[in-house]
Amino acid sequence: MSAAQSQTTLESLQCHFTWDLVHSRPKLLRLTHKMEGFSEEKGNRKLGHNYNLWGFIQYKLGLNEEANSLFQKATEALNKLRKADEGAWLVVNYGNLAWLHHHLGDQAESQAYLSKVDALMEKYPSPSQDDLRPEICAEKAWTLMFFGEDKKLVVDYYEKAARMQPDMVDWNTSYVIWLKNAQNFSDPMLDPDLLEKMRQAKERDPENLYLAALYLDQRADEGENIQDEVRELAGNVSTLCCSGSGMWALLNLYIKYISVDEAVDLAEKVLKEHPDVRYLKKLVAFCYRWRIVYKSCSSPEQSMMDRAIALHEELLSLYPHSSLKKETDLATIYAKSHHSKAKAEQIFQKLLKNEPAEPSDKQMLYNKYANHLYFNLNDSHRSIQYHMKAAAIPEKSFNRENSIRILEENKYRSIMCREIEEFLRNLQEPRQ
């Protein structure tokens, strides 16, 4: 096969190398933390997808040997899940390996994987000319969770996979979970049958902590009292750390419907049972930060401040590629301390002096500092200026939307009202 024919064949593959996955290097480095975290979860049914995506990220970072190792782990994990040596679930994986070996200059190995893809597609053809295999839909959905802005697209791919292969419980669970997440981010009535779909999914996947927590959250949204069931769900501490996302969802239920103090106690209890699990330390730190920053009815004891500060400082070394977020989190805690308020300003000034290159990172920094100026230093004028700096960057993000909302709220009551109105009138639309 000629080089030109090989390139055309490679480009026709369904895999990470052909899905137009674009991210900056800082974002790719942060994604490695997420991939590492998912790989630590016991019984993770998406381990194969995770290794495939992680391998592609390593390739984009120039780490070809690590990428190859992760793609090989993906093969093993996918076969282990299906309890077979080969099947349609390897189409994306073999496509990734074909592309990787092509870039490494090993055309014979690349061609060998292309032949494997051809054999699988011949044996397991797509259900129709316009539809992808369900395994490809599921893998693409998992990838777009991290690389795509459109949450509805994730829902659509999982729904297609679950519809075409209904015996795959995990795909149906993922479809329902992302239907709930999409509803949270967009239309509250996206699907009037969501609660029933979640109930049915929970019956089919009773051990899924994340699904169980989201199901309770949906019931609470529809007016039910779920406190007793939340505590019951948290009853078996020894099994809770198996899912980082599930544990996060459970702690979020405690914060929303019970108390942040009980969320802190539960998080600490689980971490004591599993002291070496990294993502649990992040969740404990999150609970402390919520308690200190947002629960204004009672001042935290210094021992709580010290524990929160120590955890956040440890996270800086555990998650080096997410240091900007971790440092701003640490600054928000210092700002509430009676003994270390000045340290918050020192951290922010250091970050502003060496401001990040990534537009979304700049937005986050400006937004966080604007809120710090308003809530902790009572400097509303400078706060408005930094909210403007955050909103002026035409990048879609939560921080930009938060700054715009605050500017909208202040355009009639601030002494800068005319300046705010003119600024909002001339604001650029964000890049998608």
Write out the DSSP string of 389-401.
HHHHS-B--HHHH
Is 181 a domain residue?
no
Give, in degrees to the nearest 5, the angle at Cα 192 between 188 and 194. 85
Query: 312 with 330: CB under 8 angstroms?
Result: yes
Q: Is residue 172 part of a domain?
A: no
With respect to residue 106, please indicate whether it lies within any of the assigned structural domains: yes
Q: Which of 80, 100, 134 is the last residue of a domain?
A: 134
pLDDT at 310 over 50: yes
Count of positions (residues) in the chain: 432
Whether 226 is covered by a domain: the verdict is no
List pLDDT tens digits, range 328-370.
999 999 999 878 889 999 999 999 999 898 999 999 999 999 9
Residue 94 has pLDDT above 60, yes or no: yes
Examine the fold and report which residue of 74, 108, 134 is the final residue of a domain before the chain moves on. 134
Which of 221 and 105 is assigned the larger pLDDT?
A: 105
Examine residue 89 and state whether it is found in any structural domain, yes or no. yes
* CA distances, 63 to each of 38, 56, 106 (Å): 20, 9, 16
CATH number for the domain spanning 25: value is: 1.25.40.10
For 285-303, the pLDDT digits (tens) are: 999 999 999 876 667 888 9
Per-residue pLDDT, 301: 87
pLDDT at 150: 80
Q: How far is CA 222 from CA 18, 59, 216, in A?
A: 42, 45, 10
- Residue ending a domain, among 89, 111, 134, is 134
Lowest mean pLDDT among 177-186, 224-233, 304-313, 394-403: 177-186
Dihedral class, residue 222 (left if φ above 0, else alpha if ψ from -120 to 50, else beta): alpha
In a domain, 107, yes or no: yes
Q: For 387-427, what is each residue's pLDDT tens digit?
A: 999 999 998 889 999 999 999 999 888 888 999 999 999 99
395-410 burial, b if ≥16 CB within 10 A, otherwise e?
bebebbebbbebbeeb
- Asked whether residue 360 is assigned to any structural domain, the reply reads yes
User: Number of structural domains, the chain?
Assistant: 2
Q: How confident is the model at residue 4 (pLDDT cuts 50, 70, 90)?
A: very low
Confidence of residue 130 (pLDDT cuts 50, 70, 90): confident
Band of residue 6 on the pLDDT scale cut at 50, 70, 90: very low
Question: Taking all residues of the chain, what is their mean pLDDT, rounded to a whole number?
Answer: 91
Distance linking the first and last C-alpha atoms of the chain: 39
Domain that holds residue 94: 3-134
Residue 49 has pLDDT above 80, yes or no: yes
Average pLDDT over residues 70-81: 97
Specify if 426 maps to a domain.
yes
Q: What is the pTM of this model?
A: 0.90
